[in-house]
Amino acid sequence: MSETTTDLDATGLLCPLPVLKARKRLQALASGDTLTMQADDPAAIVDVPHFCAEAGHDLLSADTDGPVQVYVIRKA
């Protein structure tokens, strides 16, 4: 079983769009695949971890690169 990583650039999008885009992108992935998402919406700091917890996905990391947050999510 090979796991793939997909990138999503959600910079410039405001709540709730980063989470909605992540949800849509994750639906197309297989269980165990990862999504790396960049976002600059201040609300994403709260929204992304909450979304992962509610949907059962694993938030592998949440880092900041200047004004951009980088999230790595493993699909449940």
Give per-residue pLDDT as tens, 2-61.
578 899 999 999 999 999 999 999 999 999 999 999 999 999 999 999 999 999 999 999
Cβ burial 33-66 (10 Å sphere, 16+ → b, else e) = bbbebbbbbeebeebbeebbeeeebeeeebeeee
Percent of the chain with pLDDT over 70: 97
Task: Decide: 54 and 23 in contact? Cβ < 8 Å.
Answer: no
Residue tagged active-site, from 13, 15, 55, 68? 15
pLDDT at residue 5, as a whole number: 87
Is 15 one of the annotated active-site residues of the chain?
yes
Q: Give me the residues paired with residue 62 across strands.
A: 71
Report DSSP state, residue 35: E
- Tokens, residue 26: 């994750």
Residue corresponding to tokens 């998402």 = 37
